[in-house]
Structure 1
Amino acid sequence: MSSDPAFGPAAPAMSLRESIERSVSAAIVAGTVPPGELLSVPTLAVQFQVSATPVREAMLNLQKLGFVEPVRNKGFRVTAVSMPELADIVEVRRMLEVPVVGELADDYPIEDDARLRELADRIVDAAERADLPAYLEADIEFHTLLLSRHGNARLVAIVVGLRRQTRLTGLSGMQGSAELQESAEEHGRLLDLLAAGDRAGAEALVHRHIGHVLGWWAGNPEVH
């Protein structure tokens, strides 16, 4: 295991287990902890400066989510997600998210605009600072809040689950890149399109934005 897996700091508002789980999952999603990496509970406990109990709880939950698999007497190994699996996730996400966002353009939740723009700014700021855990945390909060305005809690839960299964394998190598900045700024542009009632424009942007999973993040810039 590498000595510095670039886990984000613990979030004081969460439980230790939640904070560790979010930090480790963000590192796995971003690719800073690659598939095949072995993570041991004692080593993680030292790195997070906590006891082994919340670390073990976090890793067992990540196992349920498919991020890691147990290795007897050693810890947990980070699992891989193949390109065909990512393509399936992208296809389902587009089926669910694109039309929902399109409907929001017809009735934009203006009462959430300030919060959504604050999150969009946080995403851009995290991209500029090359803080991948913060980027991913603000990104999922942005999209969860936006989709929740549709009113279908089951749909939101499905999309959040799909997003957590997604691996942005090339993201860690794009810190400071124009592509990362472009993707970050798409959140603010999406809000502008929604506020303007531009359904076609919003749907096209979300379709392209989700496609970054197979394009920029996977090292295939020609894929959209």
Structure 2
Amino acid sequence: MVSHVNDFGSTKKSAGLPEYAKPIEDHLTLFIQIIGICTAIVVSGVGVDVAYHGHVMGFYVTGASVVIFFLEVTWAITLFIQICVKNDESLCWNCWSSVLMITRGWRRSLFYLPVSCILAWKPYRLWLSFVAAGLLAILALAHIASSALDRRSFCQMNGGVDQIGESLLHTRPDCYDHFEEVLVTEVLDDGSGAQGRYVDSDGEI
């Protein structure tokens, strides 16, 4: 359960609210960031080695490693842009948001899986090619799993908010009725008490 900390340091559990802590997603994101950078380094090593032995494919693999490294450090680039650009409506931020929308989540697997198949199909007698192909396949599957978990968490959060809204709407008339009863009772009691005091003080109606 999610716990809220007040000013005095004590904790209490929230009741009836959706859980916003996502430990699985956080661990998966950290795993993707680490394995993404490692994969880019391994693929670049394969590309340089293949190009060194006179194969044209090595240059393409090296270029693919640059793209992989760029895609896997977009979170760092986003943080840098947020620090430098304070205005969310600026042209730079809008362009970068469009890039993130195109390259985020499962869409990266559309690039990783073909490169993984090429490295496994043409290893050029280099055992590191199979390692790079396996890392790319794992990275692609991790991005697909992360997108699926994010979508499920988003649906659950919207469902929880709708349920809370419906419960508040259903309980609101009862609260209003109870409030009206209290006001009417207090007004009647005050009126009768004031009238009784008036009769006692003057001795007549």
TM bucket normalised to smaller: under 0.3
Relative contact order (alpha carbons < 8 A, sep ≥ 6): 1 or 2 greater? 1
Q: TM-score, normalised by structure 2?
A: 0.24
Q: TM-score, normalised by structure 1?
A: 0.23
Structure number, greater radius of gyration? 2
Query: In proportion to residue count, which structure has more helix?
Result: 2
